[in-house]
Structure formats: C-alpha cells, structure tokens
Structure 1
Amino acid sequence: MSRKIMVVTAAYGADQVRQAGGQRAILPVIAAAGADGVEIRRELFSPQELQALPALSESIELLGLLVCYSAPAALFMPDGSLNPDLSRYLAEASTLNALWLKVSLGYFQDKHSLEELRAQLRESGMALVVENDQTDCGQLAPMQRFKAACRVMELPITLTFDMGNWLWAGDSPEEAARHLAPAVSYIHVKAAVPHNQHFRAIAPDHADARWLDLLNQLPVDAPRGIEFPLEGPDLTAITRHYVNLLREE
C-alpha cells in the first residue's frame, strides 16, 4: 500500500488561496494531482468560511480526499495551562471529519496539565498531533519532555515532525529525528536554505540530499505533507510532480 501524501493548502500561499476563492476552491487542484488528502489551515479562513465548515467537509468528501486540520495555536499557554480554545478546535476538526487536529506545543511545564487534556480528547474522540514550531517552545528539549510525559501518562498523542522548523528553532533536524522518530505520525516535508539571517522553505528537489537523508530517518508509513511553496502557471501539474516524488522516495 502506497504511503499517504497530504497537500497543505498554505503551500500555495495565502494570497493565491484567497484569490482562488478560499481553501474550498483549491481542493480540485489537490484531488486532480493525485494526492490522498489535504491539510486545512484555520488561519486561511475568513470569518464567513469558518462558519461554513460543513460545506467544506462535504466538498472534501465528494472529492475523495482525506483531511487533517491545523490550528495556529499552542496547546499550552504561557502559565502552563491548557489552551482554553482547544475544545473549539477539536469540534471544528470533528465537523471536517478530520483524521487529526494539529497544534504546536506552547509552554508545556509538567504532566499535571495532561489529565484535563486526556478528558477533552476522550470527549471529542479526535486524534491530536503536536508539531515542532519555529519558536523556542518547538525546540528538541521541550518536545522530548512532552513526549516522555505523554508516554508516562499513556496519552494517545503523537507528533508532527516539521523537517524545516528545527532549523528556525536552532536545533539539528537529524538529532531531533534520532530522539523523536518513534512518536512521529505525520511529516511536514520541506527543505530550507539560509535567507536574511533566517531560513526560507524551498522545494526538496531544489536542495541538496539532506532532506532525503532526514526523511529516511522517519517512519516510512507516516503520511507526508507537502508544505513547501507550490508555484507556477499549472498548479495541478506542479502539485502532481511533488505528490509523485514524495510517494516514491
């Protein structure tokens, strides 16, 4: 069975998505490119679109796509408490019939905050994946502490491994893979190059082989999400190119 390839709507750029008519309008491109699914991004919704999640869910289902849902939010607040909006994000993910909700870690402090999280996940029935973001909270050390606490508490939470974000956070992606790979259930694929004292994401076949070596350290059965820029006059063709590339590698 071939591995699943998801396309992150943000890969087309916020302006392109808006000009196309929103994330719903991008779905036919993703489906025609042969992708297995789509990652819907909450930050790309207008207020009106956020109220129309059932219609979006219906469109996704009609095209035969899997869906995951990403909220631009931290799981834990600066005081270590659980994000009070988590239940809303879980409900939105359920409305979309998403396979999982993805958030960043935020300010995880200790396992005492995890019982409330357990209760919310049990009530919602939604899977949760936690991504390493580009902040200090997304560095390897806090991600390791969170992974260890989830294991001790027997929480069914896994990780999204964003291949490029480790560079923004100042960590080695390869070291992160060595420590976190067993807990990874979803991979954001991107290569990154230095740019204006930071980094910028680029398509993997425009980079050296580091991205592929890193990818080979991660679970082979984890769905792969395209999160590097997808640009060009024929978005279906360029998307298909990378769907096929990531399915084969």
Structure 2
Amino acid sequence: MKRKIIVVTAAYGSNQVAAMGGQLATLPLIADAGADGVEIRRELLSPEERRHLSSLAFAIEAHELQACYSAPEPLCMEDGTLNPSLPALLEEATTLKSLWLKVSLGHYQQPGALETLRRWLADSGMALVVENDQTECGKLAPMRRFQADCEALRLPVTLTFDAGNWLWVGDSPEEAARHLASAVSYIHVKAAAPHGDSFRAVAPDHADERWLALLDMLPADAPRGIEFPLEGADLTAVTRHYVNLLREE
C-alpha cells in the first residue's frame, strides 16, 4: 500500500494562493501532481469561503483528493481551559469531510479538561491531531506531558509531528521523534535552514540528509504533508517532484 502524501496549500505561499483565486484553485495542480490529499488552511479562507465549505468539500472529492483541515487555534487557552471554539472548528472539519482537524497544543496544563474534550470529539465524530508549533507551547516537554495524559486516559487524540518546528523552539527533532513517534499519525515534512537569528523552511532535498533520516524514525504509515515552499514556473511539476520524493523515501 502506497504512502499517502498530503499537500499543504500554504506551501505555495499566501500571496500565490490569493493570486490563483484561493485554495480551490490549487486542487487541480495538487491532483495532477499525484498527491492523495490536500490540507486546507483555515487562515487562507475568506469568511465567505468558510460559509461554503460544503462546496469546497465537493470540489476536493471531484478531484479525487482527501481533505485535512488545519486551524491556527490552540487546544488550550492561556488559563489552561479548552478553546471554546473547538466544537465549531470540529463542525467545520466535518462539513469539509476532512480526515481530521489539526490544531496546536496551546497552554496545556493538566488533564482535567480532557474528559470534556472526549465528549466534544464523540459528539462530532471528527478526529483531532495536535501539532508542535513554533512557540514555547510546542516544545517537547509540554507535548510529552499532553501525549502521556492522552495515553493514560485512552483519549483518541494523536499528534502531528512537524519535523522543522522543533528547531524554532530549540529542541532536537530526533529526541522528539524518539519520545513521540508512537503517537504520531501525521507528519509535516520540512527542513529548516539557519536564517538570521532564526530559521526558514526549505525543501528536504535542499538540506542535509538529516531530514530524510528523521522520517525513518517516524511511523512509516503516517501520511506525509508537504509544508516547505513549493515554488517555480511549473507548480504542478514541482509538486509532483516532491510528492514522488516523499512517497519513495
């Protein structure tokens, strides 16, 4: 069974997506590139587009793609309580016929709120994946604590492993993989190159082999999302190149 490759629309850049006419316009080239799915970014949807997610879902199905839905929202607020927007976001993901809703961890503190989350997930029927982001909340220690609590409570929540984001917060991607791999169900693939006092995302074949070796530490059956910049005169050809590369590696 071939490995699933998901193209994150943000990989084309927000300006390029807007110039193309929105995320709907990326579907033909993602499908033509041979990808299995598309990650729709909530932040790139206009309020009008959010009101017509069922139409976007129809278009995604028409292109024989699967949908994933990413919202730039934390699971937990600054006081440790669950984000009250989660039920609405889960509903949007359901309307989009998404495989899952992806959010960041936020200010997770203790497992008291997780039974409420269990109820929200059961009511929605939607899967939830939690990603390590580029903030202090996305460091390995809080991600490990959250993962351990989910495992102890048998909460059906898994992790998105963003391979590059660990560097932004000063953690080792390899150490993160050793501790979290068993809970990972989705991988955001990107390498990171030094840029000023921080990093910038780059394609894995434009970096050292560390990034491809890192993939070997993660579940082989986890879908891989392309989240590094996809640029060039022929975006379909560029996308196809990386779809094939990540499917084979």
Gaps of 5+ in 2: none
CA distance in 2, matches of 1:221, 1:117: 26
Secondary structure at the aligned position of 1:238 is classed as helix
CA distance in 2, matches of 1:25, 1:232: 17
Provide Cα deviations, 1:10-45, integer angstroms capped at 9, x if missing partner.
000000000000000110010000000000000001
Q: Which position in structure 2 is the counterpart of 1:18?
A: 18
Moved over 2 A (4+): none
Provide Cα deviations, 1:161-182, integer angstroms capped at 9, x if missing partner.
0000000011000000000000
Q: Which position in structure 2 is the counterpart of 1:40?
A: 40
Q: Which position in structure 2 is the counterpart of 1:232?
A: 232
Q: TM (normalized to structure 1)?
A: 0.99
State whether structure 2 residue 126 is matched by structure 1 residue 126: yes
Q: Which position in structure 1 is the counterpart of 2:216?
A: 216
CA distance in 2, matches of 1:26, 1:76: 31
Structure 1 residue 198: deviation in Å? 0.4
State whether structure 2 residue 198 is matched by structure 1 residue 172: no
Secondary structure at the aligned position of 1:99 is classed as strand
Q: State how 1:14-93 maps to structure 2 within 5 Å.
A: 14-93=14-93
Q: TM (normalized to structure 2)?
A: 0.99
Q: State how 1:64-213 maps to structure 2 within 5 Å.
A: 64-213=64-213
Provide Cα deviations, 1:62-103, integer angstroms capped at 9, x if missing partner.
111011100000000000000000011100000010000000
CA distance in 1, matches of 2:47, 2:157: 29
Secondary structure at the aligned position of 1:158 is classed as strand
CA distance in 1, matches of 2:241, 2:117: 39
CA distance in 1, matches of 2:221, 2:136: 29
Provide Cα deviations, 1:211-233, integer angstroms capped at 9, x if missing partner.
01111100000000000000001
CA distance in 1, matches of 2:60, 2:140: 34
Provide Cα deviations, 1:191-217, integer angstroms capped at 9, x if missing partner.
001101000000111111000111110
Secondary structure at the aligned position of 2:84 is classed as coil
Gaps of 5+ in 1: none
Secondary structure at the aligned position of 1:171 is classed as coil
Structure 1 residue 51: deviation in Å? 1.1
Return the letter of the residue paired with 1:235: L
Aligned residues: 249
CA distance in 1, matches of 2:183, 2:191: 21
CA distance in 1, matches of 2:75, 2:111: 13
Structure 1 residue 46: deviation in Å? 1.1
Secondary structure at the aligned position of 1:40 is classed as strand
Secondary structure at the aligned position of 2:98 is classed as coil
Q: Which position in structure 1 is the counterpart of 2:246?
A: 246
